[in-house]
Structure 1
Amino acid sequence: MPPRHPPRPTAAFRAAVALVSGAAAASAAEPLRVGNAVLEPVAIAALPGWQADETAAAFEAFRRTCAAPGPDPAQAAGVAGSPADLAAACAAAAALDRTGAGWPERARRFFQERFSAYRVVRPADGTEPERKTGFLTGYFEPQLEGSLAPGPGFAAAVLARPDDLVTLAPGETRPGLDPALRAGRAAAAGFEAYPDRAAIEDGAIAGRTRPLLWLRDAVDLFVLQVQGSGRVRLPDGSAIRVLYDGKNGRPYTSIGKLLVAEGHLALNDLSLARWTAWLRAHPDHARRLMRMNASYIFFRTEPVTDPALGPPGAAGAPLSPGRSLAVDGTLWRYGLPFWLEGRLPGQPGSGHLVVAADTGSAILGPARGDLYVGTGAAAGVAAGDLHTKPGFVVLLPKPAAP
Structure 2
Amino acid sequence: MIATLRRIICAAAVALGTGAPAMATPTELLSFADLDGWGDDDHQAALTAFLETCGDLNGDDWAALCAFARKEPNARTFFELFFRPVLIGGDSPALFTGYFEPELDGARRPGGPYRYPVYRKPPEVRQGTRWATREQIEDQNILAGRGLELAWVDDPVELFFLQIQGSGRIRLSDGSMLRVGYGGFNGHEYRSVGEELVRRGVYSRHQVSAQVIKNWVRRNPGAGRQLLQHNPSYVFFREVSRVPAEKGPLGAMNRSITPMRSVAVDPAFTPLGAPVWVEKGGRGPIKQLFVAQDTGSAIKGAQRADIFFGTGDVAGRNAGRVRDPGRMVVLLPIDRAFALVPGG
| Aligned-residue CA RMSD (Å) | 2.5
1:146 to 101, 106, 109: 106
Pairwise CA distance, 1:345: 4.6
8 Å CA contact 1:137–1:386 kept in 2: the answer is yes
Paired position in structure 2 for 1:280? 218
Secondary structure, aligned partner of 2:97: strand
From the superposition, tell whether residues 86 and 156 of structure 1 become closer, same or farther in structure 2 (CA, over 3 Å).
same
Paired position in structure 2 for 1:363? 299
What is the letter of the counterpart of residue 117 of structure 2? A
Paired position in structure 2 for 1:110? 78
Deviations 1:249-306 (A, max 9, x none): 0111111111222233332332222211211111110121122211111001124844
Pairwise CA distance, 1:199: 1.6
C-alpha distance in 1 between matches for 2:150 and 2:51: 32
From the superposition, tell whether residues 22 and 383 of structure 1 become closer, same or farther in structure 2 (CA, over 3 Å).
farther
8 Å CA contact 1:239–1:304 kept in 2: the answer is no
Pairwise CA distance, 1:238: 2.4
C-alpha distance in 1 between matches for 2:143 and 2:175: 32
Secondary structure, aligned partner of 1:318: coil
TM-score, normalized by length of structure 1? 0.74
**What count of residue pairs does the alignment treat as equivalent?**
322
8 Å CA contact 1:36–1:366 kept in 2: the answer is no
From the superposition, tell whether residues 290 and 234 of structure 1 become closer, same or farther in structure 2 (CA, over 3 Å).
same
C-alpha distance in 2 between matches for 1:118 and 1:399: 12
Deviations 1:327-355 (A, max 9, x none): 1023322110111135575466xx21000
Correspondences of 1:332-351 after superposition (within 5 Å): 332-341=270-279, 345-346=283-284, 351=287
Which deviates more, 362-371 or 46-55?
Answer: 46-55
Paired position in structure 2 for 1:204? 142
Correspondences of 1:33-48 after superposition (within 5 Å): 35-45=23-33, 47-48=35-36
1:88 to 41, 64, 71: 64
From the superposition, tell whether residues 205 and 236 of structure 1 become closer, same or farther in structure 2 (CA, over 3 Å).
closer
Pairwise CA distance, 1:325: 0.8
2:124 to 155, 164, 180: 164
Correspondences of 1:128-147 after superposition (within 5 Å): 132-147=92-107
Deviations 1:340-380 (A, max 9, x none): 135575466xx210000000011111111111011111111
TM-score, normalized by length of structure 2? 0.86
8 Å CA contact 1:135–1:388 kept in 2: the answer is yes
2:52 to 53, 64, 77: 64
1:374 pairs with 2:310: yes
C-alpha distance in 2 between matches for 1:122 and 1:353: 17
More helix by share: 2
2:227 to 289, 292, 302: 289
8 Å CA contact 1:280–1:286 kept in 2: the answer is yes
From the superposition, tell whether residues 65 and 25 of structure 1 become closer, same or farther in structure 2 (CA, over 3 Å).
same
8 Å CA contact 1:57–1:323 kept in 2: the answer is yes
1:395 pairs with 2:331: yes
User: Percent identity over the alignment?
Assistant: 38
Unaligned runs of 5+ in 2: 1-11, 337-344
1:317 pairs with 2:285: no
C-alpha distance in 2 between matches for 1:308 and 1:44: 33
C-alpha distance in 1 between matches for 2:119 and 2:34: 50
Unaligned runs of 5+ in 1: 1-20, 27-31, 71-81, 98-105, 124-131, 168-181, 184-192
Secondary structure, aligned partner of 1:364: coil
From the superposition, tell whether residues 44 and 254 of structure 1 become closer, same or farther in structure 2 (CA, over 3 Å).
same
Deviations 1:137-175 (A, max 9, x none): 1111111111111111111100011111111xxxxxxxx
C-alpha distance in 1 between matches for 2:230 and 2:95: 27
Which deviates more, 156-165 or 304-313?
Answer: 304-313
Paired position in structure 1 for 2:42? 54
Pairwise CA distance, 1:230: 0.9
